[in-house]
Structure formats: C-alpha cells, structure tokens
Structure 1
Amino acid sequence: MPPIITPIPPFQPDLYQRAWASIPHPSLPLIATPHATSVTIFSLATLSKHSVLTGGHARSVRTAAWQPGMSAGRLRLVTGSFDATAGLWSYNSDKDKKGLEKEVKFGEGEGDEEEEEEDWEFNLVLEGHENEVKSIAFSPTGQYLATSSRDKSVWIWEDVGDGAGPGEEDDGGEWETVAVLNEHEGDVKAVAWCPDVEGRVGMSGRYSSDVLASASYDNTVRIWREDSDGEWVCVAVLEGHEATVWGLQWEPRPREGRFPRLLTFSADKTVRIWTLKVEEAEEEEGMTNNPWGGIPNTMRTELKEEWECTDVFPRVHSRDVYSATWSKDTGMVASAGSDGIIALYAEDATPKEDVDMESATNAAAPATSRWKVLAAVEDGHGPYEINHITWCKRFDPGTERKGEEEMLVTTGDDGVVRPWQVRIP
C-alpha cells in the first residue's frame, strides 16, 4: 500500500493573511512563520501560538532562519523583509527560565499560556541590500549568514562577537560583511548552505568546507565557496531549469562517501536533483591542502566544479513548484506549489542504468528517473496557493513517539499553517 497523507488539526490561531513559510527550529519544538510585518512562533507541543515578534520591520517579513545552537541558553532568529533589511531577534530565557525550559525545551506546553512576548528582543539590523530580502540561511556552525535579494545579490555576513557576557542579555553581537556576490542576472530567490554531514569536505582541498548555493530568477543555480585567499567565488553554474528556480535544499543525509546532492524546484513545474562530478584521479589521490600555491587568479578557472542534473522527478504539478523538502530520516521528498498539490516521492534504491543523454527531451536532464510518486493530495489549502512545505518532528499529543516521528507542515496564502501525518504502511 502507498503512504497515506492525512491532515492534522491546523496550528492555532489562523493568521488570516498570506504566510510565506514555516521554519522549524533544528532542535527545539518551535516553528517560526513570517506573515505581514510579524513572525508568529508556534509551539510544536501544543500546535498553538508561543509568541509573536512585531515592531522590527517596516514592511512584510518574507523569510526567517534560526541561528544554530543555544549559546548560554539564548535563542536567536533572523528575519528578512521587504524593507530590504535583515533583523536579528533574541529570546532571553534568563528572564523566564521556567517558561523556556518547560514549554520549549521539553515540549510540555502546559501552564505557560501567558508567555511574555517582550522576552523576544529586536537587537540588530543588517543593512546593505537595495531591495527586499528574499531568503536567509545560516551556515552549519552559525558563523556565517547568507542573505539574498531582489537586487540580484547575495551577501555573506559573519558573526564576529557574542556581544554578551555570562548572565547578560543578548544584544545581537557584532556582524561584519565578508562578501557581496553579484553574478546572478535576476532576483536571487533562495540561498542554502550545505549541511555539516559526512562527505561534505569532499572538495575542501580546493576551498573551505563551507558551501553555499543560490537560486535565481535567471533560471540558474550557483555554487559558491571560499578560496584560500578568503574570497568567495562561484565554482559552478547549474543550468537546466527553463524558468525561475524558486528554491533549493541540500541532501540532509548523503550516500556513504559521496558529496551531498542538491534538490531544486522551479516555475517550470519540475523538481530536479544535481550531483557533483568528482574525477576518479581526485578520489584515488585526494586533494592537497593548498593547491593554489602561487597560481594567479586568471588560471583558477580550471579548478571549477562540474555538476550534472542526475534526476528529474515525475511530473505532478501543473503550475510553479514553490517549495520542496528532503527528509533526513526517510530520504523521501515532498513538494508543493501554486496548484495546491502536495506530492510525496521516494528514490528507488536499485542502481540506475546509464542514460543516453542525447535521447533525453532536455539535454540537461536524464531521460529516466529513480524517483517515484508515492502519494499526492489535491487542494491542500483549498483554492489557495501553498508557499512552503517542510518536514518537522512531532511533539503534539497525537504522536506516541515525540521528537522522533516526522510530519509535513504546509504554509499558504490562506494564512493557515497546516500539519500533515504521513503514514507508511
């Protein structure tokens, strides 16, 4: 029997206005949903509002990202807005340790309904973009923050100071701009850092271990790395999508010894997988720690990376695919978009035979795919578009495996944040 996707009662309250995304915290039972000029933080334990962040931005908040880790018990969230800024918020749990420990950390969610929203403080504004900030993402360590914008640029910021001593309130710390990347020819819709997983260091003999990908209105994806001179360079341009690339996600648990693959989704109604090509000589001999030596910049083009589109998912969507999410636990992928469809896919574990690229309908894509459609739900948010979908751990009373079982969470133009149970027979 195929998997069954069934709705769970939605998060409360309804927001009654377009909501852009819902971003789960990497370790705590919290999920952040930007809408209008606010961000509502929901508790995954109660499926209800935990707190609301307001007053930080003059225009709509488009995106959000949690900074990894909880240094000294502090919680940080960065928001990106149509006002062209990114803002850093901190939750100072020292004010209400009982509330944070009970409701958030352990997921009890009872007895602390009157959470003081002033515990969230708007600490810092990052300015530089000329137009609205479309996407933000933290590197695995939280040291770097990437922001992308309608102004066609990607900015990389570095957290260079904690800004608060033991027992002091978090003031946001000190941030510096380390790079401004201007090679895209259209709005940069999304950025994503390669996760800190086994195999990620694969090409670090040439560059640092941090890897950033960006998706654009120019129909391309670019891969960025920091070279030995401390400069962020584009090492690959992924071409194949025939319309805006709305977003991307790195493979959360790559195959043994392989560099993580990249998942992209587009206005061309497709979902694609991209794989880094590694030369056999590199695999056998390894990389030197400093291959640049005294080589001038003009000769470094030969060290560019080569990526190929290795899979195009079976066509399910009839309009733009706005979002897709890759499960670390099961390896399944779910997608959603303008047509209101929620689709679920799984990869066939059997090796795929070599594909004759000349016979493919698109020279940048394989003719067949290992990925199969497992289930599809139509009108997931009624007549409204679905802007975002994500895998998320369950902590609500409806699960017997709190913090272990996964669910899907979708966010739509109707202002509803809706969880979905995925049952695998």
Structure 2
Amino acid sequence: MLLLLYICFKKVHKLEGHENEVKSCAYSVSGRFLATASRDKSVWVWQVDEDEDFDVCSILQGHTADVKFVVWHPTDDILVSGGYDCSIHFYCFDGDDFVTIQKIEAAHDSTVWSAAFDHSGKYLVTVGADKFLKIWQQKWAESLQERSWAKLLELELDTRWPLYAVDWNHLTGHIAVSGGDGKVRIFNFDFDSESLTKSGSFTVEDEVNSLRWHPTIPQLLSVSCDDGFIHLLTHDC
C-alpha cells in the first residue's frame, strides 16, 4: 500500500540576484547561511537573521564556468563549490564576508559534478565527468582561513559515462556514487587505513541525477533518475 502524506507549504521569500539558472542550494550546519550556485558562474551566500530575513552576505565569482553544486562542512561554516571549470573552491566566513581559503585547479579532468563530506569534515569526496572518485583530506588548522585540503586517493570507475552524484553515509562511512550508466556503486572507506574498497552495487533503470543516504536509517538510500522515478534502495551495511 502506498501512503501519501500531504504537507502544506507556503512561500515566505523569493531571493533574486542570479543572472541564470540556479543549480544548487544548501544551508550551513549553523543555519545562519544559505548558499546558492548558478550557471552565471557565481556563488552567493545569504545570511539569515533572527526574523528569518535573507540578506546577501557574499557574492563569490572565482569560477570561470557554470557552478554545479555547493556543499557545507558538517561542523564548521566552510563552503565548497565545483562545476564546469574542473575546479573546487573552499570558502569560510571571516566575520564580515565569505573569503576563498583554497582553490584546487583541475581537481578533475572534466566537470566536477558532486561532492560530500564525511561525518567529521576531515574528508571530502568528489566525482566528475572524468569517471574518477577522489577523496581529499583536510590539513587541520585552528583558524578556518588556514585550513586546506590535499588529494588522499583516487579511483577510476569502470564506466564510460560521467559520474553525477555522490553521498557519504555519516552513520556507516559508506560512499554511494552513480551517474550516466544507472549503476549505483557502494564503497567502504576505512578511516584507520584511509583506504577504499567496493562493498556492493545496484542497477536502476536510467541515468542517476542525485542520491542521498537517510540521516538516521543507515541502510536506506534514495536515488533519483531520468525515468521520473525515485528509487529507494537498501544496502546491507
């Protein structure tokens, strides 16, 4: 039996400023900031005040092509963006504005489509049109502006299609990745040895655009596809 739950929403704000399609948006873990990314090559950060009003905090224009995603660090107000220019950018709040703390040129050989942090924020995984999965390790510093990331490992997947989506399970450490071939691959990252091993795979009917692990049910993964369906998958972790 299919149970449909209807929840009533109403529009409370309409944020304007981007000159082209907005491709991604994400709230910071603190809830103080909303980041948006656009085909106009910019990343905007909006600050949320106590009355739930949104003011433009920063307009970041370091990318030279479409920005495909923004993702926040799980514990700090550190923002990451990536896109068509093959680079990933890291930003942090300096008290007045968001500033770029690191720019990794040619992070992938083609479009960087998606990224996700592990539960601690020490590691970042990225995937791209070059069919590579890459993990970046944080070089910790007390000051957010002095932190940086370096490539820890990379793995070329056995596919001729781009990788569009990746998510890191904060409960189990598993990484799910998929893309144009409709195959969802599950990897296990060993935090002690800092190594990556494949632990399973699923095949869905069409190209995968996005996937997300459930935040409290460790085995449940939702996958959105070009066939118009949302596939709910379970993995024996």
Scaled by the length of structure 1, what TM-score is found? 0.52
Between Structure 1 and Structure 2, how many residues are aligned? 236
| In the alignment, structure 1 residue 406 sits paired with structure 2 residue 228 | no
- Structure with bigger gyration radius: 1
Opposite residue 267 of structure 1, the aligned amino acid is A
| In the alignment, structure 1 residue 223 sits paired with structure 2 residue 65 | no
The answer (yes or no) to whether the contact 2:35–2:43 under 8 Å persists in 1 is: yes
Alpha-carbon separation, structure 2, partners of 1:138 and 1:146: 6
- 1:419–1:211: structure 2 CA closer, same or farther, 3 Å change rule? same
Opposite residue 220 of structure 2, the aligned amino acid is M
**What's the CA shift string for 1:303-341, capped at 9, x where partnerless?**
754421101135233311110111111101011111111
- 1:423–1:304: structure 2 CA closer, same or farther, 3 Å change rule? closer
Aligned partner (choices 15, 21, 40) of residue 151 of structure 1: 40
Q: How does 1:122-141 map to 2 (within 5 A)?
A: 122-141=11-30
Alpha-carbon separation, structure 2, partners of 1:261 and 1:147: 22
Shift of 1:49: 3.5
- 1:233–1:340: structure 2 CA closer, same or farther, 3 Å change rule? same
The answer (yes or no) to whether the contact 1:270–1:317 under 8 Å persists in 2 is: no
Which residue number corresponds to residue 235 of structure 1? 101
Which residue number corresponds to residue 113 of structure 2? 246
Alpha-carbon separation, structure 1, partners of 2:218 and 2:138: 31
Which structure is higher in RCO with an 8 Å CA cutoff and minimum separation 6?
Answer: 1
Which residue number corresponds to residue 270 of structure 1? 132
Aligned partner (choices 324, 336, 344) of residue 178 of structure 2: 336
Shift of 1:250: 1.3
Aligned partner (choices 178, 182, 187) of residue 61 of structure 2: 182
Which residue number corresponds to residue 6 of structure 1? none
Alpha-carbon separation, structure 1, partners of 2:218 and 2:97: 41
Aligned to 1:423, what secondary structure does the other structure show? coil
Which residue number corresponds to residue 228 of structure 2? 415
Shift of 1:265: 0.9
Shift of 1:227: 1.9
Percent identity of paired positions between Structure 1 and Structure 2: 30
Which residue number corresponds to residue 81 of structure 2? 214
- Dislocated runs of 4+, deviation >4 Å: none
Alpha-carbon separation, structure 1, partners of 2:158 and 2:212: 18
Q: How does 1:274-285 map to 2 (within 5 A)?
A: 274-278=136-140
- 1:245–1:350: structure 2 CA closer, same or farther, 3 Å change rule? same
Q: How does 1:22-421 map to 2 (within 5 A)?
A: 48-51=3-6, 119-162=8-51, 173-196=52-75, 209-228=76-95, 230-239=96-105, 240-252=107-119, 254=120, 260-278=122-140, 305-349=147-191, 351=193, 370-378=195-203, 380=204, 382=205, 384-392=206-214, 404-421=217-234
Shift of 1:222: 0.2
Alpha-carbon separation, structure 2, partners of 1:419 and 1:377: 11
Opposite residue 411 of structure 1, the aligned amino acid is S
Alpha-carbon separation, structure 2, partners of 1:414 and 1:215: 26
- 1:48–1:416: structure 2 CA closer, same or farther, 3 Å change rule? farther
Aligned to 1:124, what secondary structure does the other structure show? coil
Alpha-carbon separation, structure 1, partners of 2:102 and 2:28: 19
Q: Which is strand-richer, 1 or 2?
A: 2
Q: Which is helix-richer, 1 or 2?
A: 1
**What's the CA shift string for 1:163-203, capped at 9, x where partnerless?**
xxxxxxxxxx321101100010011100011112xxxxxxx
RMSD after superposition: 2.2
Alpha-carbon separation, structure 1, partners of 2:235 and 2:57: 42
Unaligned runs of 5+ in 1: 1-45, 52-116, 163-172, 197-208, 290-302, 353-369, 394-402
Scaled by the length of structure 2, what TM-score is found? 0.91
Alpha-carbon separation, structure 2, partners of 1:272 and 1:48: 39
